[in-house]
Amino acid sequence: MRRFKLNLPFFRGLMLFLAAFFCVLALQVNAVNSQTVHSEIASYRPIEVWRAAHPTNFGKRFSKDIYGKPTNNALVAVIHETVISATDTIRVFQTRHDNEADQASYHALITRNGTIVHLVSERNRAFGAGNSVFRGPNGIETVRTHRIYPSSVNNFAYHISLETPADGNDNGNFHSGYTKFQYQSLAWLIADKQIPASRVTTHKGVDRSGTRKDPRSFNDRHFSSLLQRYSQLNQAKTASQPPINLRKLGQPQ
């Protein structure tokens, strides 16, 4: 019987070829997946509806604090969660509350299917975080606009809340999390408002009472990746827009 003689050079060459082949195949698959994700992000546009909050649940943004100091803080996005259903949350905000202690609102609410429900105009001050402070690149930021209540971020905050899943309608520390549509709509909205990542925080992050946990079970890494992509898309769109011809529009030069 003839012994099988292993051809080492041939065998090594075959292994190198197979390794290179699978490497190229993996790169192609990743490229296709990346292109699919990019296309999905670029074409994504959430449904937007208005469900205006009652006027008792929001107010005007102040140009000065109670001490007469001008307020010129840039907008900061504060992420919340509802803890109850979106329908019940909207009902609460549309209810008249003459007692200041009961007044509350968000600027926007994002339902489980990604629909953005606008509740308060960006021009106005929503009552989303009472005793609060934002610690960012510019240091400590908080504005006192009421002689009884402590300072807060409300005067320069854009409050966005995610509808909580059914298993999170309690005071637990965790729940099953948010849908991919909620993350996409949240990133899309913040990028559309041109709020930089350095000025995005959570209710828990600004709260000084030590009682706020929201948004619980939030995937910050996934959200940050989406926000970066949507922000880049917005910048690319802005850069590609032709400059406005003021003379054509009849404006003085």
Phi-psi region of 217 (alpha: psi -120 to 50; beta: other; left: phi over 0): left
Q: Give residue 95's pLDDT.
A: 98
pLDDT tens for each residue of 17-33:
777 666 555 555 444 44
* Averaged pLDDT, 105-124: 98
pLDDT of residue 238: 72
Query: In this predicted model, what pLDDT tens digit does every residue of 166-212 receive, in sequence order?
Result: 999 988 999 999 999 999 999 999 999 999 999 999 999 999 999 99
pLDDT value for 11: 60
pLDDT for position 30:
47
Residue 80 has pLDDT above 90, yes or no: yes
> Given this model, what pLDDT does residue 33 score?
44
C-alpha dihedral, 18 to 21 to 26 to 28, nearest 10°: -170
pLDDT, residue 16, reads 73
pLDDT digits (tens, 9 = 90+) for 219-251: 999 999 999 999 999 888 777 666 544 343 344
| pTM of structure | 0.81
Greater confidence (170 vs 146) lies with 146
Distance CA 85, CA 233 (A): 32
**What is the per-residue pLDDT for 28?**
57
Per-residue model confidence (pLDDT) at position 5: 55
Q: Which domains does the chain have, with CATH numbers?
A: 48-234 (3.40.80.10)
Q: What is the pLDDT of residue 171?
A: 81
Q: What is the pLDDT of residues 29-75, one digit of tens each?
A: 444 444 455 678 889 999 999 999 999 999 999 999 999 999 999 99
Instruction: State mean pLDDT over 150-156.
Output: 98
The residue among 33 and 122 whose pLDDT is bigger is 122
